[in-house]
Amino acid sequence: MSSDPTSSTIIERRGDQAFPVLNADQMATARRFGGKPKQFKPGEVVYGVGELGASAYLVLEGSINVVRHDGFSEDSLITTHKPGQISGEISQLTGGATLGLGKAGPEGCTAVPFDATQLRALLIGSAELGELLMRAYILRRMALFETHAGVVLLSTAGSPDSLPLQNFLRRNAFPYNVIDPRENAEAAQLLDRLGVLESELPVALCPDGTLMRRPTEAQLARCIGLLPELNPERVFDVAIVGAGPAGLAAAVYAASEGLSVLVLDERAFGGQAGASARIENYLGFPTGISGQALMARAFTQAEKFGAVMAIPARVTQLQCKDVGTDKPAMQLQLHDNQSVRASSIVVATGARYRRPDLPDLSTYEGHGIYYWASPIEAKLCAGEEVILVGGGNSAGQAVAYLAAQSAKVHLVVRAKSLEASMSRYLIDRLDALPNLELHTECELSRLMGENGRLQAVCWRDRRTGQEEKRAIRHVFLFIGADPNAAWLADCAIEIDAKGFVKTGLDLLKEKDGQRIPAPLETSRRGVFAVGDVRAASVKRVASAVGEGAAVVAQLHAYLAGIH
């Protein structure tokens, strides 16, 4: 994100859009939403690197120099904001960590601050400036990815221990860089100076300079502002559990219509759709779009309207009884002993890929067994043979992606063909791949490895019982889905024989004037279910988005009845 075009091709191509200059009328409009102008002396810090909740600033006079600082290398200038320009990027919408240090220029600076609430009000209140600034903030975030700003992960190349952290940051659209201290002398010197042992890798350097040895995803999320402090006394209008297509759609429409919205997800926004290399049958994208890009747009849209995002936050229990507030509310219990309350609940937890019943499967997870195919995994298996198990659309998209990176892809499916489970356009694409070998009516039978790393795989022909062994070190599992609904058990919400949540007409057995649930409402009044977790739902991104949008009208009706 530099004014030097050689550092970012995005800025080189679209610098005027990434750093627009407001005219006098636009500045006057923006100032109505901001705070009282502040004056800064030459060189004075306007906001710190890694600062949580830092305001964005509209420069009136002077300038703000934004400096990159990654914890151990020399500082470098990112950009200089001059009169008519507004500082910040996507983080400013939610109070996340700043990725640069802002200092007043040599002539000092006078600037109007916009905290997160004021900034969102500006984006919504002025359509012209909202479009201008949202585009600028998105482009700045993309440029930060391109220049590897943000979190620095110090890890040996290919370390399976760093893969979950890399995937967590990538799936949550937070910039990061991976540096191998065996190849970077400066990183090695830093670890030596701090007394960090190789067994303590990976190490994460947060934007504010905090160093964490082998951090958990939650620890890293708190450091970069992804996981806010949740007030257990606050009662949200709606808590949405799951940030996949259905959950994000519900968040966008509910928040844009004035409801207070909390979205919780245990890992990342986007769900299974976010892991799709390319979605080509989603309405309005004839050339296709990656699941990550599509879901990132939805996530940013929900933040723009004020939805509170908590990631990673795993919900372990829904307590359906009222929790002693001045209005009816239910309580969600989280894995870290926190709790949150809401007047209504939207269950959008989707489904997870099944784990085959194989000995030592968990031993190799992340060490040769993967449940998604991102650029991180593709880099690990570049030029090698891989196995992918599954016959659905997600499997087909992953095969097409991996085939471009790998020497050969073995696609293992239990069915006689792909026709019953995969879209025709994907089947045609797979038929054209020269390095794909399809194994129908087969299943994985054995995993073999050394020191916790996968070395070979066997699959069995279900017709003959004959086994085939291959020295393949990378297996991708996309084998059907089980609903993520176990956390609802204590609330006695009705599910079908496969564990999916019943709603609407599926519950219609009321007699003698008993309550008739809304179409997307569960057996518990005020609890709704949308997307893949719902019984009888169509397992497509567009269907999930439609249900997420449709549930908001039913939420309004329910909330109007209890308030």
Residue 17 phi, psi dihedral angles, 5° rounding: -80, -35
- The band of 146, judged by pLDDT with boundaries at 50, 70 and 90, is confident
Pairing of strands 235-241, 339-347: parallel
Residue 229 lies in a domain: no
Among candidate residues 224, 255, 279, the one where a domain is terminated: 224
Rounded mean pLDDT, 241-255: 98
DSSP-derived 3-state class of residue 393:
helix
Q: Is the pLDDT of residue 157 over 90?
A: no
Domain CATH for 429: 3.50.50.60
Domain CATH for 66: 2.60.120.10
| Domain shared by 469 and 382, yes or no | yes
pLDDT at position 511: 44
pLDDT tens readout for residues 353-397? 888 999 889 999 988 999 988 888 888 899 999 999 999 998 999
| Domain shared by 517 and 557, yes or no | yes
Average pLDDT, rounded, for the chain: 91
Residue 95 lies in a domain: yes
Rounded mean pLDDT, 86-111: 93
| Domain shared by 42 and 86, yes or no | yes
Rounded mean pLDDT, 47-69: 93
* Domain range enclosing 170: 151-224
Q: 525, 498 in Cβ contact below 8 A? A: no
What is the spatial distance between Cα 546 and Cα 511, in angstroms, rounded to a whole number? 30
- The band of 217, judged by pLDDT with boundaries at 50, 70 and 90, is very high
pLDDT tens readout for residues 24-55? 999 999 999 999 999 999 999 999 988 989 99
Q: Is the pLDDT of residue 77 over 90?
A: no
The helix (run of H) or strand (run of E) holding residue 263 is strand 261-264
| Domain shared by 455 and 504, yes or no | no
**pTM of the predicted structure, to 2 decimals:** 0.89
What is the spatial distance between Cα 173 and Cα 221, in angstroms, rounded to a whole number? 12
What is the spatial distance between Cα 44 and Cα 54, in angstroms, rounded to a whole number? 15
Q: List own/partner pairs for 495-502 with CB under 8 A and 24 or more apart.
A: 495/535, 496/535, 498/535, 500/533, 500/534, 500/535, 500/536, 500/537, 501/347, 501/529, 501/533, 501/534, 501/535, 502/535
Q: What percent of the chain has pLDDT over 70?
A: 95
| Domain shared by 183 and 269, yes or no | no
Residue 99 lies in a domain: yes
Among candidate residues 450, 479, 508, the one where a domain is terminated: 479
Residue 230 lies in a domain: no
Residue 558 lies in a domain: yes
Q: 75, 48 in Cβ contact below 8 A? A: no
Minimum mean pLDDT range among 89-103, 115-129, 150-164, 543-557:
150-164
Residue 325 lies in a domain: yes
pLDDT at position 68: 83
pLDDT at position 512: 45
Structure tokens that stand for 490 in this block? 């204590």
Q: Is the pLDDT of residue 492 over 50?
A: yes
What is the spatial distance between Cα 331 and Cα 318, in angstroms, rounded to a whole number? 6
| Domain shared by 269 and 121, yes or no | no
Q: Where are the alpha helices (DSSP H) in 195-283?
A: 217-224, 245-256, 271-274
Instruction: Count up the domains in the chain and report the number.
Output: 4
Residue 266 lies in a domain: yes
| Domain shared by 239 and 309, yes or no | yes
pLDDT at position 277: 80
Q: How many CA atoms lie within 13 A of 117 on its CB side?
A: 1
| Domain shared by 155 and 139, yes or no | no
What's the count of helices (H) and strands (E) in the chain, helices before strands?
A: 15, 26
Rounded mean pLDDT, 81-93: 95
| Domain shared by 386 and 337, yes or no | no
Segment of 194-198, 214-218, 477-481 carrying the highest mean pLDDT: 214-218
- The band of 528, judged by pLDDT with boundaries at 50, 70 and 90, is very high
DSSP conformation class of 563:
-
| Domain shared by 346 and 490, yes or no | yes
- The band of 2, judged by pLDDT with boundaries at 50, 70 and 90, is very low
| Domain shared by 15 and 95, yes or no | yes
Among candidate residues 117, 145, 173, the one where a domain is terminated: 145
Q: Is the pLDDT of residue 476 over 90?
A: yes
Residue 311 lies in a domain: yes
Q: 486, 399 in Cβ contact below 8 A? A: no
What is the spatial distance between Cα 429 and Cα 532, in angstroms, rounded to a whole number? 26
Kindly give, in sequence order, each residue whose CB lies less than 8 Å from that of residue 231, ignoring residues fewer than 6 positions away. Answer: none
DSSP conformation class of 493:
-
| Domain shared by 320 and 447, yes or no | no
Minimum mean pLDDT range among 15-29, 59-73, 281-295, 486-500:
59-73
- The band of 326, judged by pLDDT with boundaries at 50, 70 and 90, is low
pLDDT at position 5: 33
Q: Is the pLDDT of residue 510 over 50?
A: no
